[in-house]
Structure formats: structure tokens, C-alpha cells
Structure 1
Amino acid sequence: MTDNLADLPFQELVRRVRACTLCSDVLPCGPRPVVQLSESSRILVVGQAPGRRVHDTGLPFNDSSGDRLRDWMGVTRDTFYDEQKLAILPMGFCYPGTGKSGDLPPRPECAPAWRQVLLDRLPDIALTLVIGRYAHAWHLPDGESSVTGNVKNWKRYWPEVVPMPHPSPRNNLWLRRNPWFEAVTVPALRERVAAILVEA
């Protein structure tokens, strides 16, 4: 990547992202960057990193976490996977493997190499959903030290950004302990998403 990525045509930049092999020697299943984006995307979904099923299918949030996320957003699969409407850029683009307590963190090489140059090419984003602690750390540098703290302070970032917990079934206990999220934040999120999509 010796040339200036910012000067590349958008489709060539995306092609290079999808062909990236930066972490190939440490990825247990090999590189398969899974992203979705268009210069006309209106909503940006920022997750952690693809899970094994997403790696196998090449479709972001193609799992139970995605089902819950789409429910929180109030959108269909067709809308969710319409890149003209939704961009999906996890903090790590490839499946990092599994550790003792679930998937490993996103690879640290990914964000410095690609993240800002891609974000700079999404001029029409009206809403960013920031999901999980690695996404919070990047997108909310002045935020709280915990995911719960950021999610509780969601109105601080409204209406451009919504800090969110991860929709994984592993977070069911968190959701039971914090019922206000689905009672208060989720309805507001659905209204915001619907309003943006009407404009799209």
C-alpha cells in the first residue's frame, strides 16, 4: 500500500480492502475481509469483527447477533443488506479466531490500515451505530470507560451516533440487567432509522 489510498477511485479502494492479506499469517481461517459500503450509504454499522459463520458466508451479521440487531433497528434483511442505505465496517474486517471465552478481539492491524480512509469516503452517513467496546474505544474517544457507561449516556451523542451493547446472545444477561435499553433506547433508534431511510 505505497500509493495514496485517499486518491483511489472508491471501487478500487473497496476492492483493495476485500483483497487485503495484512494479517494472513495470524488468521486461523485465512483472510476474508467482510465489509459492506457505498458512497451513498446513510447509516453506518460498526461492529467488532466477523464471527465464524460470517466468515464462512461472507455476509456481515449473518447470525443470531444480526437478527437481534435488525430487530433493534426495525429493518428487514433486504434493507440491512442494501449497501446504498447501510454501510457495515467492523473494527476488524476478518474473523480473528476463537479464544477461551468467545471470539478473539479484532486484529489491531486493520483499523490503522483502512478505517479512516474508508470513513472519509462515506459523506452521507447520518447515523452511526457503535457496537461493543472496541468500536466504542475508536469512535467515542472521549467516552466512558465501560460499554454500559457509554450506552447509558446515548443521548450525549444523539442523533448522529448511538453507542450500543453487542447484540450477541452472550449479552442476554446484560440486557436483563439493563432493561431500559430495549425499553427506551431501542424505540428511539427505530424511529431515527426509519426517518433516515425515508430520506434515502
Structure 2
Amino acid sequence: MQNLLDTIRQCEVCIKHLPQGARPIIEASKDSKILLISQAPGRVVHESGIAWKDQSGKKLREWLGVDEDTFYNTSNFAILPMGFCYPGKAKTGDMPPRKECAPLWHDQVFLELNNVKLILLIGAYASTYYLPDEKTKLTEKVADYEKHLPKFWCLPHPSPVNRFWRMKNPWFEETVVPKLQQKIASILS
């Protein structure tokens, strides 16, 4: 696993498309219990080199009901974005994740993970990629999370840009998040 992570962290396949250069962000161990598949690192994460070390990560940890020590323990959580590098800024939020990363690296990472009990698909890019036959929108996938268990659990992206989605869909934090926290706690206990 460590050799694969080192190789991925050196990847420059799409460097010419990255406004701030390549800095692949990935965290995992063979023992990881929960796999987070998300969009792509933001600018703050790109600069720090630490996955989810931003406002989105703070909200995600809140949803998961875990502290930073638990979250950053790779025996608990593996972090596998759809795009490993910051793709640049768009009009609202960031550019979509680069399409090269997931087909190039995800299967290789999956082969090294021996203990995953749950895969969290965070945001539309991850849920569309991993549930290609599911034609519903992300909101429906989030609401019907039980349909995808025991393997997947779909979540909205916790970005501050999505605060309006959360305001429009209060059922998510009122009903789904407590069940998610129970599931996470049971896996990590």
C-alpha cells in the first residue's frame, strides 16, 4: 500500500491542466474501515497537503460524529478523491475533478484495501461514478441511502457552497446524519 500511495503522490499525468500544479492528496492503509470517495481537494487543502483540513472537512467530521484524531487515523478512514489534485476555481466553487484520476488509480487502491466496511460517496461526482445505473439526482440518492447499503452511503458535499442545499433539505441533518453517526460509531467500535 505504501508504495502505491507514494507512486500516486508523485503523479503528474494531468499537470498541464492544473493551475497550481500537481499535489495529489490521498490517505489510506490496508486496515482502513471506511472509505471516503469525494470530489477533489480544494485550494486550502492543496496548500496544506492535508485532506479535508478546511471548512468542508470540519462539517464532514461533524456529520460523521468523529474528532480529528479519529478522522485522520488511516486505520479508520481512507481518503480517495475522484480527482487527487486541486482542479482550479470555477464561477461558483471549484472546477470539476480531473477525469484521469479515478480510472487510473481507484482500482489499484481498492486491491490494497482489505478491511473496508462502508464506502461514503460524497457529492455528485462520486455517486455518479460509482452508481452509474442510478439515474436519480444526488438529493434522492442521499434520501434513499438505505437502498445502497451495505456497501455505499451517499452524502452531499459538505462545502460551505452547499449551505443552501442543507437549508432546503433540513431532513438530511435532522434524520440522516444521526443514522450515519450511529453507523460510523458501530464500524469504528
Please give the range of the TM-score, normalised by the shorter of the 2 chains: over 0.9
Alpha-carbon distance, 1:160 to partner: 2.9
Is 1:68 aligned to residue 59 of structure 2?
yes
Aligned residues: 189
Gaps (5+ residues) in structure 2? none
| Letter aligned with residue 162 of structure 2 | N
Aligned residues: CA RMSD: 1.0
Q: Deviations over 1:107-136 (max 9, x none)?
A: 011111111111221121101110111101
Report the AA paired with residue 38 of structure 2.
G
In structure 2, what is the Cα distance between the partners aligned to 1:175 and 1:12? 39
1:103-122 paired onto structure 2 within 5 Å: 103-122=94-113
Q: Counterparts of 2:136 and 2:114 in 1: how far apart (Å)?
A: 29
State the percentage of identical aligned residues. 46
1:79 alignment partner in structure 2: 70
Question: Is this contact kept in 2: 1:40–1:84, CA < 8 A?
Answer: yes
Distance 2:176 2:94 in 1: 27
Q: Which residue of the partner structure matches residue 7 of structure 1?
A: none
Secondary structure at the counterpart of residue 181 of structure 1: helix
1:179 Cα deviation from its structure 2 partner: 1.1
Which residue of the partner structure matches residue 160 of structure 1?
A: 151
Q: TM (normalized to structure 1)?
A: 0.92
Q: C-alpha separation between the residues in 2 aligned to 1:38 and 1:94?
A: 20
Please give the residue correspondences for 1:1-200 in structure 2 after superposition, counting only pairs within 5 Å. 10-198=1-189
Worse-matched range after superposition: 33-42 or 171-180: 171-180
Distance 1:44 1:155 in 2: 17
TM-score, normalising length: structure 2: 0.97
SS in 1 for 2:25: coil
Q: Secondary structure at the match of 1:53?
A: helix
For the Cα contact (< 8 Å) 1:144–1:150, is it kept in 2? no
Shift of 1:13: 1.1
SS of residue matched to 1:174 = helix
Are the equivalent residues in 2 in contact too, given 1:98–1:104 (CA < 8 A)? yes
Q: Tell me how far 1:142 sits from its aligned partner.
A: 2.4
- Secondary structure class of the residue paired with 1:102: coil
Counterpart-to-counterpart distance in 1, 2:124 and 2:69: 28
Task: Letter of the 1:169 partner, please give it.
Answer: P
State the distance in 2 between where 1:123 and 1:143 align: 27
Structure 1, unaligned stretches of length 5 or more? Answer: 1-9
